[in-house]
Amino acid sequence: MLIFGSMAALLVAVTLAVLLWPLLRGRHGAVAPDAESNAIAVYRDQKQALDAECADGVISSEERDAAVAELSRRLGDELAIPAAATAAGGRAERRAWVVALTLILLVPAAALVLYAWLGNPAATGAVAANESGKAHELSEGQIMAMVDKLAERLKAHPDEAEGWVLLARSYVALGRFPEAADAYAHADVLIPNNADLLADYADALAMAQGKHLGGKPTELARRALAIDPQQRKALAFIASAALEAGDIDGSLSFWRRLQAEFPEGSDDARQIGAIIAEIESERHDRKGPVAAPGKVPRLADQAGVAPAPPAAAASIAGSVDITPALAAKVTLNDTVFIFARAVDGPRMPLAVLRVPARELPKQFRLDDSMGMAPGVKLSSAAAVIIEARISRSGNALPQPGDLSGRSAPVKPGASDVKVIIDQVVP
C-alpha cells in the first residue's frame, strides 16, 4: 500500500511539473527591458549634443531651449508607455499564478476521483491483508479441518472432479494414503484416461498397501503408460515394480526408457544411469533375486515413514530445518526428501526418507533398510553427505525451483547431524 501511494504521488507530481513549468517560466521570461533607462539615456545624449552645438555657435540659446523642451515632452510620452506595459504584465502574471494554483488543486483531485471510478481501490487492501496473513501459519488442526470440510463437500457434490484431485493430494501430503487412494479412485472415474492422475493414483495405492507395488498399483501405472508412454513417474514405478517382482531385464528396460527422457549428461540422466549400473552389477555378483519386496528403488516417490532402525552403527540421525528467508516459499502440498549420498561414489542415494513439508523442522533417521537398490547400503560407505530437498511436484528427481540443503561429510553411525535448507535449485 505504501509503495503504491508513493508511486501515485510521484506520477501526480511529474504531471504537475510538466504543466506548470512552461506556464510559470513563460511569465517570468516575458519581463520587458528597462524602457525608462533607455529613454532617459537617449534624452541625455541628445541634450548633450544640443548643448555642444549651442556652445559652438551652431544654434542659438533660444533654439537650444526649444529643442530641449521638445525632448522633454517626448521623454514624458515614452515613460508613460512602459508603465502601462508593466501594469498589464503584472495582471498577466497574476492570471498565470491563478491557473497554476488551480492545476495544483485540480490534478490530484481528478486523479483520486478517476481511480475511485475506474480503478480497484479494494485491491490494495486485499494485498495488505494477504501480506499480513502470511505471518500467521495454519495449525495442523486447522489444516485437518479444511481437508475434512472438503471431504464433506464432495459427499454432497460427488461430481466435482477437481475437488477429488485436490482432496487426494491433500491426503497424500498428510500421509493418509488409504483415503488418498479412495479419492484418486473417484477422480479416475470423473477424469478418465489421464496419465498423470493414474501415476499418482498408483503411487498412493502402493503406499496404502504397505509400499508393495504389485497388483492394482502396477496395473494403474501400465494404464498410464498406455496413454502416455513417456510419463516419467509411471516409467519409474513400473521399473521398480519389475525389480520387486524379480524381472531384472524388464526393470532395466524401463529404467533405460526413463533415462532417455532426460538430456544426456544431465544430473537426472546420471542418477538413473547409476541405478542401472547398480542393478547390472548386482545381477552379475548375485545368483539370487536382485531385490526383496520392500527394498526397491522407487525413484518416483520414496518411502514416507522409516521402519525400525537396525544397529546404530548402520544409521545416521539428525534434523532438517529451513531458513526463514525460504520458509515462505513452502506450501502444504510440498514434499521433503531426505537422503544420504556417498562422498566418493555414484550419485544414487544410499538411503531415502520422504516426509510432508509441514513436518519441518524434522528429526530423521536413515538406515540400510531405506536403500534404493540391493547391495547399496548406507553402512558400507566410508563417509556420506546428508541432503534435503523440498519438491513442489512431489517428484524425487530435482526440478528447477526446488529448495535444498546439505550437511558436511559424516560417517555412518553419526547422530545430531544438522541440515539447513538454504538453496534454490536453478
Residue-wise pLDDT for 246-302, tens only, equals: 888 888 999 999 989 888 888 788 888 888 887 887 776 655 444 433 333 444 443
Residue-wise pLDDT for 40-84, tens only, equals: 666 677 777 777 777 777 777 777 777 777 767 776 666 555 544
| Angle of CA points 183, 334, 127, to nearest 5° | 105
277-280 long-range contacts, CB within 8 A, separation 24+? 277/346, 278/346, 278/348, 278/373, 278/375, 278/376, 279/243, 279/248, 279/251, 279/252, 279/255, 279/373, 280/252
pLDDT reported for residue 268: 80
Strand stretches in 35-84, DSSP E: none
> Which of residues 37 and 310 earns the better pLDDT score?
37
What is the C-alpha to C-alpha distance for residues 72 and 35, in angstroms, rounded to an integer? 15
Say whether pLDDT at 416 is over 70. yes
Residue-wise pLDDT for 325-355, tens only, equals: 898 888 877 899 999 988 877 677 888 888 8
> Which of residues 356 and 305 earns the better pLDDT score?
356
Q: Does residue 355 sit in helix, strand or coil?
A: strand
pLDDT reported for residue 270: 84
- Cβ atoms of 151 and 167 within 8 Å: the answer is yes
> Which of residues 287 and 38 earns the better pLDDT score?
38
What is the C-alpha to C-alpha distance for residues 360 and 421, in angstroms, rounded to an integer? 10
Say whether pLDDT at 88 is over 60. no
Lowest mean pLDDT among 105-109, 264-268, 269-273, 370-374: 370-374
23-27-29-31 Cα dihedral, nearest 10 degrees: 170
What is the C-alpha to C-alpha distance for residues 388 and 425, in angstroms, rounded to an integer? 12
Mean pLDDT over the full length of the chain: 76
Residue-wise pLDDT for 175-195, tens only, equals: 788 999 999 999 999 998 999
